[in-house]
Amino acid sequence: MKAFLFVCMVAIAAANSAELSQKQKEAVKKFTAECVKETGVRPELLAQAKKGQFSDDEALKKFTLCFFKKTGILTSDAKLNTDVALAKLPSNVDKTKVAKVLEECKKKTGKTHADTAFEIFKCYYSAAPTHLIF
């Protein structure tokens, strides 16, 4: 249970220790639980993704798509919604830097919507000064 709770949070962390609001934390917990249930992703894969270790696992890809759609970061056709993604960042994050990263990641695509969501997530994780992690 502790492992599940550990992976059921989103930590947006930068060098300046950006913090999510309580409302954001509650939404993340809810969406994470829903997407875990819908996709059957293994909690250990989420824990690995949090550390930047991405497994080429279909359930993880589907989880990423599910989570990003529920948060509005991706549209129903798996297009990155930059405005929504930026709006979800804490106020003390340099949104100009993140916007540049998102513009590059927006170009990532895959064979399926889940593949596209996963490629966008990996791109963002590797290049962003602020990480969004499940």
Task: Please state the rounded mean pLDDT for residues 115-119.
Answer: 95
Strand ranges inside the chain, DSSP E: none
Collapsing DSSP to helix, strand or coil, 33 comes out as: helix
pLDDT given at position 28: 86
Q: What is the dihedral of CA 89, 94, 97, 102, to 10 degrees?
A: 10
Task: Please state the rounded mean pLDDT for residues 65-77.
Answer: 94
Helix/strand/coil percentages in the chain, nearest 5? 60, 5, 40
Does the predicted TM-score (pTM) go above 0.75? yes
Task: Please state the rounded mean pLDDT for residues 84-109.
Answer: 88
**CA atoms lying within 13 Å on the CB side of residue 22:** 0
pLDDT given at position 1: 34
Domain membership of residue 54 (yes or no) is yes
Residue 67 has pLDDT above 50, yes or no: yes
Residue 7 has pLDDT above 90, yes or no: no
Residue closest to 31 by CA, chosen among 87, 81, 70: 70
Domain membership of residue 42 (yes or no) is yes
pLDDT band at residue 131 under the 50/70/90 scheme: low
CA distance 60 to 49: 9
CA distance 25 to 69: 17
Domain membership of residue 94 (yes or no) is yes
- Residue 90 sits in a domain of what CATH number? 1.10.238.20
Number of domains in the chain: 1
CA distance 5 to 29: 8
Domain membership of residue 75 (yes or no) is yes
- Pick 86 or 13 by higher pLDDT: 86
Tokens 């409302």 belong to 23
pLDDT given at position 23: 84
Domain that holds residue 105: 22-127
Cα-based distances in Å from 62 to 16, 17, 21, 95, 117 = 31, 29, 26, 27, 8
- Per residue in 76-85, pLDDT (tens digit) is 999 999 999 9
